Amino acid sequence: MIVQGDVFFVRIQNIPGESKKVTRDERGFIIAEGEATGHAHVIHDDIELYEKDSVLFIKTEKTVEVRHEEHHPVTLDPGIWKVGIVREYDPFLEEIRMVKD
Amino acid sequence: MMTDDIEKIIDDWGSETFFKGDGIDEEHLEEGIAWLYSSGLESRPHVLILDSPLACQIELNRMEKKGLQKYLSSAASPEAWQRIKSFMFSFSGTEAWCNTLPVVKTAQSIARLCALDRLITGNIQDAVTKRTIRFHKFSDDNLLNRFSKIVFYDFMCRSVLAARERSTSRKVQGHAGGINIHYLKHYMDFLRTGCFLSLFFQGLALISRRPKRVRFDGSGRLHADGEAAIEWRDGWKLFYLNGVLVPEEVAVTPAAQLDPGVILREGNVEVRREIVRKIGIERLIQKLGGKVVDSWKGYELITLDIPGMGTKPTYLKMRNPSIGTYHVEGVPPRITTCREALSWRVGGLKWNPKQLT
């Protein structure tokens, strides 16, 4: 597992079937974006990014770097990675939600 | 008339309700009320315009104390009001009604406005009841109350009129005849005179002005940090943060000066959430003396003891290794160790990161 703030990457074997390809925008491949701050976890290198049921999957043939404004970069080795978002619990609402910094 | 048109109508009534200020066109208001009453075969009532919904409720309570209970209870005139309604709204099942219903139901912003309507009327009732005075239910179909109905009538009116303009065939005109357009338009004109909420009795109509000022956030929620979100002419105010009604102290006190102990006195979970959001959980933990129940590799698991809460809010305190700042995140209260908390954060996976930034 590789962790960058509220985003973590877990190596898997295959991209799930029926995943849809996600295109790069002008900032690069956006892996996760904060609602309040506008900060984003971004990959500038060429990768293949897929999405299924709101979960992202990264396929890369070379080592790539994930960047974020408030965290040092992390590197992903060649392979397939599932992107996870850290969750937190709100004891006042008694509900679980995804952390979005 | 299409979906775009309904959104415009919703915007129009939203603006009419919240952004027109507290002015009242008294002449047309009284004419409108006289017309409503005459439709119910009632004589023209005395019209009392008051500055806020609270002022209306206080006035009614004062009248009750003066021994006018009989006058008020017998004066609700349900038969008259029913006559008015049946005269005006007897179009259920007409083609226009059937065409209008799905359009209004699927309009995106109507649900938000209806929720706003329910929130404000509910909050007004709560605020009145807290003053230990009796709450009198506002009459049906006012500007604020039953938002969806007004939008429905307006859209149907305009649809029928547009159909009339497009066709001179007897068929279309016949369908239009199922709806008393004249009455609906008259009723909407009455609402546009500045009536926010009303209480109709036999011989007496109490009208509340619209608010002087209403503030929303970018998501359309009632919100004003540092001041009232709704303010009426007589100084009555309601305070909201992110759509949640909060005590004045919570809304107006700057975050840095707000006593974290205020959360201990608050029983409503949504208000508590807004207090946490405003003060910041870090400061709250610091001020309320969070108890560290486990430590591991620089992580701390902290619980708060808040009277009245069945469980102890539990937080994991951690350091951002990249920039050195600390922050806390909530975890379920059943968690008792930092390692459990870290694993829970990542969906139950074993916490053993090869890189952590």
The pLDDT score that the predictor gives to residue B75 is 44
Mean pLDDT computed over A47-54: 95
The answer to whether the CB atoms of B311 and A91 lie below 8 A apart is yes
Would you state the pLDDT for residue B220? 84
- Residue B27: both structure tokens together: 């002449």
Q: How far is A40 from chain B (nearest CA, A)?
A: 14
pLDDT at B116: 83
User: What's the rounded Cα separation, in Å, for the pair B191 and B212?
Assistant: 17
Please list the alpha-helical segments (H only) found in chain B.
3-18, 26-39, 53-63, 69-74, 78-88, 95-106, 110-130, 147-166, 170-176, 181-191, 248-252, 262-265, 269-279, 281-288, 338-345
Per-residue DSSP letter, B168 = -
Backbone phi and psi for residue B325, each to the nearest 5 degrees, phi listed first: -85, 155
B31 near B188, Cβ under 8 Å? no
> A39 lies in which domain range?
19-55+65-70
- The answer to whether residue A46 is domain-embedded is yes
Flag whether A40 is in a domain.
Answer: yes
Q: Do A91 and B314 touch (CB under 8 A)?
A: yes
List, in sequence order, every residue forming a beta bridge with B352; answer none if it has no partner. none
B45 HSE (CA, 13 A, CB side): 27
Question: Where residue A18 falls among pLDDT bands split at 50, 70, 90?
Answer: very high
Query: Does A27 fall in a domain?
Result: yes
| Closest by CA position to B117, among listed B10, B7, B241, B236 | B10
Model pLDDT, residue B3:
64
Among B320, B330, B354, beta carbon nearest to A88: B330
Sign of CA dihedral A78, A81, A83, A88: negative
Write the ipTM.
0.92
> Cα–Cα distance between B51 and B253 in angstroms, integer?
26
For residue B73, what are the contacts with CB-CB under 8 A and spacing of at least 6? none
Q: What pLDDT score does B74 carry?
A: 43
- Determine contact: A32 vs chain B, CB below 8 A: no
Residue range A20-37, pLDDT digits in tens: 999 998 788 999 986 545
b or e along B301-332 (b: 16 or more beta carbons within 10 Å of the residue's beta carbon)?
Answer: bbbbebeebeeebbbbbbeeebeeeeebbbbe
Task: Kindly identify which residue of chain A lies nearest to residue B263, measuring between CA atoms.
Answer: A92
Decide if A5 is inside a domain: no
Whether A36 maps to a domain, the answer reads yes
Q: Which residues pair with B209 in a beta bridge?
A: B195
Residues near B317 by beta carbon (within 8 Å), at least 6 away in sequence: B285, B299, B300, B301, B302, B326, B327, B328
C-beta atoms of B345 and A87 within 8 A: yes
- pLDDT above 70: percentage of residues in chain A: 93
Backbone torsions φ then ψ of B302, nearest 5 degrees? -120, 135
Phi and psi at residue A28, to the nearest 5°: 125, -160
Cβ-Cβ contacts under 8 Å, B345 against chain A:
86-88, 99
Rounded to a whole number of angstroms, the distance from the CA of A3 to the nearest CA of chain B is 5
**Nearest one of B138, B109, B158 to B2, comparing CA atoms:** B158
* Predicted structure pTM score: 0.68
CB pair distance less than 8 Å for B347 and A84: yes
Q: Is A47 near chain B, with CB under 8 Å?
A: no
The minimum CA-CA distance between A1 and chain B, rounded to whole Å, is 5
Number of A to B CB contacts under 8 A, please give it.
Answer: 76
Nearest CA in chain A to B266: A92
In a domain, A6, yes or no: no
- Residue A10 belongs to some domain of the structure: no
- Judged by CB atoms closer than 8 Å, whether chains meet at A84 and B321 is answered as no
More confident residue, B19 or A101: B19
**A70: which chain B residues are within 8 Å (Cβ-Cβ)?**
320, 322-323
Q: In total, how many domains does chain A have? A: 1
Give me the tens of pLDDT residue by residue for chain B, a chain 357 residues long: 566 788 888 888 888 889 999 999 999 999 988 888 887 767 888 899 999 999 999 998 888 877 654 444 444 455 666 666 665 556 666 777 777 777 777 776 777 777 788 788 888 888 888 888 888 887 765 556 567 777 887 888 887 777 777 665 554 444 444 556 777 778 788 888 998 888 887 788 889 999 999 999 988 889 999 999 999 999 999 999 988 899 999 999 999 899 887 876 776 767 877 888 888 877 888 787 789 999 999 999 999 887 777 788 898 988 888 877 777 888 999 999 999 999 999 999 999 999 999
A86 within some domain: no
Cβ contacts (< 8 Å) between B356 and chain A: which residues? 2-3
Q: Scanning the structure block, which residue is given the tokens 């239910």? A: B137
